[in-house]
Structure 1
Amino acid sequence: MGGVRGTIESSVPPVAFVAAYTVTGQNLEASAIAAVAVAIVLAIARIARRETPQYTLTGLVGVGLAAFIATRTGKAENFFLPGLLINAAYAGAYLVSILIRRPLIGLIVSGLSGGGKAWREDPVQLRIYTRASWLWVGLFLTRLAVQLPLYLAGAVTLLGVARTAMGLPLFGIGIWLTWLLIRDHHAIGDQADGDTPGDSDPGTPGGPGDSGDEDPDAAASLVR
């Protein structure tokens, strides 16, 4: 998602839009130009530093679309319409993934860690990834619950403030809580791995060394 910096950069153009909208006395065209100009500067800065401009360019396209919709309809609040639709789409995607027992958090984590598809058959992992995915459903729906009424009321300044406040801070909280869920799972998994039956010392009853008959292949394996 572009990391912390990419998330911050995605929040700057809307702030520029609201600031210009307030300073210019609600001049919609000037506000749209300001937001697009900021997005262009961010993209140029990444290219000049030879960093990947992928996320900034994607954001530039999004800002351009938002500015086009706002100026085309003559309603400043429509600058935030694409963001509202994206939040609704994300909430829907996470919800559907839960209903079909393929929670998106599990897909994301397994994709990043190279863990494969084994987690789908593990009830513990499936339950934890489902909980984490419900967390993100709640996050996106919370954004909609706050911002949609402001959008319908045409409260552009408050909408911009809400979008900024519920952008990186709320996203960071979601990442942190998700990590806590996944970390606890791995901690439990590690503990369980250390307590598996049959892992007793060679000299204890029931352990590999309790029997007088030794398997030559097993002995050779231990030596190796």
Structure 2
Amino acid sequence: MTSLDKPTDQRGQGAGGDAEARSATEAALFEAFGGVRGMVETTVPGLVFVAIYTVKRDIHIAAIAALGLSVALGIARLVGKDTLKHAFSGVFGVAFGAVFAMMSGDAKNFYLPGMLYSLGLAVAYIVTSLFGYPLLGLILGPVFKENLSWRTRNPGRKAAYTKASWAWGLILLAKSAILFPLYWWGDATQLGWVKVALGIPPMLLSVYLTWIFLAKAPPPIDVFAEMEAAEAAEREKAAADKAADKAADVAKVAEPLLAEWADRAVDEAGATADRAAPPRH
């Protein structure tokens, strides 16, 4: 089992290992970010809102339509036995935006919660990278079954997570730099259409860069497999110790019996010899 304090060199895996690592990376990214479907589901409610508001100029109708669509998409996820995270992550964001817009009477506020979330996420990506705990590693570590082993035992993956987190942070900051001026000085339709346009492309770019960085990094250390192997080794050792103790107990019981049997055998042999010896005259 690899030491918890020493980096693990996992280079030289060969073409098969590289292909397997790339496939695992793709699957983990799709799991973590909901795949293309998740990207579409986070964009379509906003598209519905801005389209209806552009035509009707009615915040309530546009907000209720967007929220209803988001709930329908979440229910479809549940019917398809998808995870609750993917089913309702978009619903809450749309619900906050819809309620905020209707309460304030300003259609631009439909997008404000999502914009604040993106800005906060950008800051989190950058700050955690500066402190050596890149957020993407914290998110994807459990997905790859490596937990935090990448911090101390796999420096190549730590570097990859850091680069990817910086990419996410800078891309989201650039997105915020475009949207917030529109929120302050533009109108609701301008903000809405630009936000819809900036929904999927930045996400795709971020996921693509993450895939590039992680695909080139050393494969993850499966700490769960290591723990299972350690537990199996401990069970084998315990079974071996139990068998040795049992053998020692048997030996303790058998030793005096064997000694007694040997003494009897010697006595019987002596008696037989005495009977067989010719009488003395």
TM-score by length of 1: 0.75
Matched position secondary structure for 1:113:
coil
1:43 paired to 2:74: yes
The one of 58, 66, 69 equivalent to 1:27 is: 58
Q: Distance in 2 between matches of 1:87 and 1:52?
A: 22
Give 1:104 shift: 1.5
Structure-1 residue corresponding to 2:141: 110
Regions of 4+ moved over 6 Å: none
Give 1:50 shift: 4.3
Larger radius of gyration: 2
Q: Distance in 2 between matches of 1:114 and 1:40?
A: 32
Q: Distance in 1 between matches of 2:112 and 2:217?
A: 38
1:1-224 equivalent positions in 2, closer than 5 A? 1-24=33-56, 26-121=57-152, 122-186=154-218
Matched position secondary structure for 1:16:
helix
Q: Distance in 2 between matches of 1:106 and 1:153?
A: 37
Give 1:13 shift: 0.8
Residue identity in the other structure for 1:34: A
Runs of 5+ unmatched residues, structure 1: 188-224
Q: Which has the higher contact order (CA 8 A, sep 6+)?
A: 2
Percent identity, aligned pairs only, is 38
8 Å contact 1:9–1:56 — kept in the other structure? Answer: no
Give 1:19 shift: 0.6
8 Å contact 1:119–1:126 — kept in the other structure? Answer: yes
Q: Distance in 1 between matches of 2:38 and 2:77?
A: 11
Residue identity in the other structure for 1:105: L
Residue identity in the other structure for 1:118: S
Runs of 5+ unmatched residues, structure 2: 1-32, 220-281
> How many equivalent pairs are there?
186
TM-score by length of 2: 0.61
